[in-house]
Homo-oligomer: A and B are copies of this chain.
Amino acid sequence: MIASLDGDDHEITARDERRTPRDGADSVVRAIADSARATARDAGLPLHEILAVGCAAPGPLDHRTGMVHEAPNIVGFKEFALASRLSDALDGLTVFVDRDTAMAAIAESAIGAARGARDFIYVTVSTGLGGSIVSGGRMLRGTTNTAGEIGHFPVAFQLDTTRDAAADLPRCGCGSYGCAESFAAGRNLADAYGVADAAEVFAASARGDARATAIVIRAERALANLAVGLVNMLNPALIVVGGSIADNQPGHVLEPMRRAIADRAFRAPASAVRVVPAALGGDVGMLGAVFAARERLSGRGEWFL
């Protein structure tokens, strides 16, 4: 995507979308580079006139080095030097990589639902479940820059101690169990019901299908625990919730989060927080990447680095 961002306004000049190849990291890099070149061509912009490129990727990754540690959903992204590989494929252009949810939080902060908020959490409930934490006006990065993986906070275990701790729990893509993602993310909902798309699970539940309803209830319970925990632990002013599942099923995502916070979180932080839908839709990660590249290039990105 090529976009212009002026103050609160943004305009998308050119864009290109491709399916993520499943046959290894080299193909993924080639596809991204091809997409970037096509976008530049559409915009009539020669590659050598571009100052920097922003790239949003699934994490955990290190945005300082551009190294992706592990991305369970992309074949071959394991300790993969994405920024430098992509730079090589784009004639040496400067490439700034960051986690997709960090890019999204940056965009929502700059031109979206979190404008002006110094303490907010961006949550995406989509294929996966991720997020980014901004506290006291700074993005929380951690000691090796992988902080923010809120979808992999375990919110359940098997209560029956005569059984294994993971018994009856869905396995998470990260290899663990109990993670909020393993209950509430789109792929996990679909897998649990044995269909291709989470929309079918919600539709079946709405028709009264008991198995689908059980899956949806567990997803809501997981999101409820996550929301209460975020509020008690981090005391944000705002939880901005985006992603396709949240956009399409706010009654099964934002509503249970709000109810749980009102019913179960400490009163002081509960009354200080609002749970709101994200403002920037499916483009949020790419808009954040454009914005972040500009800010990092100009040395203004310190708050999110």
Q: Name the B residues within 8 Å of A232 (CB-CB).
A: 149-150, 152-153
Count of identical protomers in the assembly: 2
Interface positions, chain A 120-172, Cβ under 8 Å from B, are 133, 135-136, 138, 140-150, 152-159, 161-162, 165, 168-169
A interface list, Cβ under 8 A from B = 60, 62, 69-70, 118-119, 133, 135-136, 138, 140-150, 152-159, 161-162, 165, 168-169, 174-178, 213-214, 217-218, 221-222, 224-225, 228-229, 232-237, 263-269, 272-273
Q: Show 28 residue pairs from A and B whose CB-CB distance is below 8 angstroms, ordered by the A residue.
A: A62-B268, A70-B266, A70-B267, A118-B143, A138-B138, A142-B236, A142-B272, A144-B268, A144-B269, A146-B235, A146-B266, A146-B268, A146-B272, A147-B269, A152-B228, A152-B233, A153-B232, A154-B224, A154-B228, A154-B264, A155-B156, A155-B157, A156-B157, A156-B159, A161-B213, A161-B214, A176-B228, A177-B264
Q: CA of A156 to CA of B159 in the docked complex: distance in angstroms?
A: 8
Q: Name the B residues within 8 Å of A136 (CB-CB).
A: 138, 140-141
Interface pair A265/B176, CB less than 8 Å apart: yes
Q: Name the B residues within 8 Å of A135 (CB-CB).
A: 135, 140-142, 147
Q: Name the B residues within 8 Å of A133 (CB-CB).
A: 233
Give the shortest distance, in Å, between A36 (CB) and chain B (any CB). 27
Q: CA of A150 to CA of B232 in the docked complex: distance in angstroms?
A: 7
Give the shortest distance, in Å, between A246 (CB) and chain B (any CB). 19
Interface pair A153/B229, CB less than 8 Å apart: yes
Give the shortest distance, in Å, between A238 (CB) and chain B (any CB). 8
Q: Name the B residues within 8 Å of A155 (CB-CB).
A: 154-157, 178, 225, 229
Give the shortest distance, in Å, between A71 (CB) and chain B (any CB). 11
Q: Name the B residues within 8 Å of A152 (CB-CB).
A: 228-229, 232-233, 265-266
Interface pair A233/B161, CB less than 8 Å apart: no
